[in-house]
Structure 1
Amino acid sequence: MPTLYEWLGGAPALEKLFTRFYEKVPDDPLLAPVFAHMDPGHAQHVAAWVGEVFGGPKTYSTTRGGHTHMISRHLGRGITEEQRRRWVTLLQDTADEVGLPSDPEFRASFVGYLEWGSRLAVIFSAPGMENPAPEDMPTWDWAKPPWQG
């Protein structure tokens, strides 16, 4: 069984996805304020993060500091639920645009991760939230329909 990373096309597909996605963000009235001071390498960093979470190389952990670093990038940002939803929707639209696999099994796994991860980003971005103790990188695998439990 291929990993989600392999199924979606690896680093080239993720870099294409996030490059295109973050090209759209400055023109989005809900998301532009969140990413107003975005690092020029942001798309590549997020591609490495998602790649590692989906079973690819441990690039984000070895070059960016892993889960603890990712959490630190969200602290104090005050991301709203409306911004979170827009991020998820725009990313799904961009996945369609760049040709990520559209089979239901992959999309269930992909969207499941986007929902889970973006909800954590909202929690960690709340005022007064502090960086928690270091944790391992999350990993995400294929979603299973309830009847396959």
Structure 2
Amino acid sequence: MSPEHSRHVAHFLVEVLKGPKLYSEQYGEDALSHMVGKHIGKHLTELQRKRWADLLLASADEIGMPADPEFRSTFVGHIEWGSRVALINSQLGENPVNQNHHIPAWGWGEVKGPYEIVGSLFEHKPDEE
């Protein structure tokens, strides 16, 4: 991973958790394509995904992120969801993102799964507009 990876991940997480759009501000209209593209062809394994998620959660503890159940369930849910989507995307040879796709925005207590066709994971849903 690049030395900037941790900052990019932090900016992406801030944005999907409905904070400032730091990732989109940096990459513009192609922000989602840029993020997904970083995983294409990497052929990540489940062991690597799990280790990355475990380290990210340990880092959250180390820096004193909130431990309340509402925050942690949302944070852990997104780490699991996002890392599993990255695993799926890492097996692809081409970037599936198109102009209908957007960076997801998570609310508190929402669960969104990666069990759709990869290209539709980030499409606007009728209730989001």
Which residue number corresponds to residue 57 of structure 2? 92
Which residue number corresponds to residue 77 of structure 1? 42
Deviation (angstroms), 1:59? 1.8
Which residue number corresponds to residue 46 of structure 1? 9
Deviations 1:37-75 (A, max 9, x none): x1x322222111111111111121121232111000000
The 3-state SS of whatever aligns with 1:91 is helix
From the CA coordinates, give the structure whose radius of gyration is larger.
Answer: 1
Larger helix fraction of residues: 1
Deviation (angstroms), 1:105? 0.9
Deviation (angstroms), 1:113? 0.3
Which residue number corresponds to residue 95 of structure 2? 131
Question: Where do 5+ consecutive residues of structure 1 fail to align?
Answer: 1-34, 145-149
Q: In structure 2, what is the Cα distance between the partners aligned to 1:84 and 1:44?
A: 18
Q: In structure 1, what is the Cα distance between the partners aligned to 2:93 and 2:84?
A: 14
Q: In structure 2, what is the Cα distance between the partners aligned to 1:44 and 1:80?
A: 23
CA contact (8 A) 1:67 1:138 kept: no
Q: In structure 2, what is the Cα distance between the partners aligned to 1:93 and 1:63?
A: 27
- When normalised by structure 1's length, the TM-score is 0.67
Identity, in percent, stands at 48
The number of equivalent residue pairs is: 106
Question: Where do 5+ consecutive residues of structure 2 fail to align?
Answer: 111-129
- When normalised by structure 2's length, the TM-score is 0.76
Q: In structure 1, what is the Cα distance between the partners aligned to 2:53 and 2:7?
A: 18
Deviation (angstroms), 1:129? 3.1
